[in-house]
Amino acid sequence: MNLTELDLCGLKEAIDAGRCSALEATTAYLERIEALNPAINAYHEVYAQRALDQARLADEGHRPGPLSGLPISIKDNLCTEYGRTTCSSRMLAEFEAPYTATVVKRLEAAGAVILGKTNMDEFAMGSSSEHCAWGPVRNPWDTERGPGGSAGGAAAAAAAWLCAGGLGSDTGGSIRQPAAYCGVVGLKPTYGRVSRYGLVAFASSLDQIGPVTRSVRDSALLMNVISGHDPLDSTSSSHPVDDFLAGLEEPPARLRIGLARQYLGEGNHAAVKAAVDQAVKILSGAGAQIIEVDLPHTEYGIPTYYIVATSEASSNLARYDGVHYGHRTRNAKDLVDLYAASRAEGFGDEVKRRIMLGTYALSSGYFDAYYVRALKVRRLIRRDFDQAFENCDVLLCPTTTDPAFVAGKNADDPLSMYLNDVYTVNANLAGIPGISIPGGLAEVDGVALPVGVQLLGPMFEEARLLRIARLLEREIGLGLCPPVVSRV
């Protein structure tokens, strides 16, 4: 039995039944990481000895819980007291966090084995995982292509069987977009559903942590562990947490599926359109009522997002000045030069671009024209979703307009790169949950590439989203396996 073939729930069943040990499973993943990570660059750090020690403890019964002995990856913007937390930036190249993120504590309290930290766009700012201080991440389906971003390492690791499951963060699609590009499942929970304590902030009103997995039931399992109120996070919600695995195999009794015309334009790749059409057919066959809805402010999502997100990034990243913490230049002439040189040396080009955009939007004379106006449009976008959900239970739409693009294609055109998030950013602006699942395959230049379909729901309706996603997953039945997987 190849243990890395099993998804998270499958491996849990195997360990619980005694068909394998946690140590055997962890060893299998570490061997696979050693063999494949040089080609994919999904991991920045691997905690091999620590993982083996934790697996042994799980086998000895010292680490019980719903994730006992299961090898998990975490994105490199989640703080841990062990290893480094770099956010794939030279600014934090040697940063050792003094505390551990709440979600990581909850994983380990449930018995999980942390394999390592996955690579990402620097400070989660990007849609391609090319803006990494430690080199770009490659897509397991075609290593000439990117995996999406910013959680490209998490998605690539899950797709290439370099972990049983993982955690990422989603500020404007950073979980769902790479999940679509890599043929895995990515869930962005409702804002406040999962604690952000210990997540290095990009845009504090948008960031949310969620699972990146090979199946819907795996996402449900991880959500059971990481969800819930955290007194250490003032934005954490006390809304009751469902058992996301309970009733997962039973579709909701009444299904009203909304289709927004703004998400179904002519710009979508033929395979993306086919995936949505297939999902509509499956849901209709299951008795769902298909309802056309209107989201009139959709077109303003990208400009609104890139004002709000960059403004918050400008504020959050002001603390990295070479004095408080972070990279410090060795050749400063005076204090002003220390600040400027430390930031110039520590931050990459994309981070600098977003800091400058945000600083401009927040500057005197432009604050009302840009940031305040963006907040007003954000409220309109939220209202669009609220009105749509009065008539439907969830929205069905593409995750991306196209399959994964060739690495470097948009390197000199940041606007094209930003438009990759056109179907994902509005969920973050509205604070609603969304899930991307594999929807089909596209043939591009002789290469098969996955495309995703996305479900969006009202706040705190992750259980409903997961049940509908599971229905689609069963019927689509892809079981996607990228070519790189067969090499080991």
Q: What is the residue type of 170?
A: D
Is 150 known to be catalytic?
yes
Q: Per DSSP, which regions of 294-417 are E strands?
A: 394-398
Strand partners, 178: none
CB atoms within 10 A of CB 1: 10
CA–CA distance, 72 with 207 (Å, rounded to integer): 21
Q: What is the residue type of 329?
A: T
CA–CA distance, 33 with 140 (Å, rounded to integer): 13
Is 128 known to be catalytic?
no
Is 174 known to be catalytic?
yes
CA–CA distance, 85 with 167 (Å, rounded to integer): 14
Q: Active site residue: 68, 88, 129, 150, which one?
A: 150
95 CB burial (10 A radius; 0-12, 13-18, 19+):
middle
Q: Active site residue: 12, 75, 105, 117, which one?
A: 75
Residues 6+ apart with CB under 8 A from 367: 361
Q: Which two tokens stand for residue 292?
A: 């056309």
Give the helix/strand (H/E) hosting 89.
Answer: none
CA–CA distance, 15 with 34 (Å, rounded to integer): 23
Q: What is the residue type of 408?
A: G
CA–CA distance, 175 with 127 (Å, rounded to integer): 10
Give the helix/strand (H/E) hosting 257.
Answer: strand 256-260
Q: Active site residue: 68, 127, 169, 174, which one?
A: 174
Q: Which residue has the tokens 């590439």?
A: 449
CA–CA distance, 467 with 475 (Å, rounded to integer): 13
CA–CA distance, 394 with 1 (Å, rounded to integer): 39
CA–CA distance, 21 with 55 (Å, rounded to integer): 8
Q: Which two tokens stand for residue 44?
A: 């920045």
Tell me phi and psi for residue 59, to 5 degrees.
-65, -30
CB atoms within 10 A of CB 407: 20
Answer yes or no: are the C-beta atoms of 362 and 354 closer than 8 Å.
no
CA–CA distance, 329 with 253 (Å, rounded to integer): 61
Q: What phi-psi label fits residue 314: left (phi over 0), alpha (psi between -120 and 50 degrees) or beta?
A: alpha
Q: Which residues are catalytic?
A: 75, 150, 174
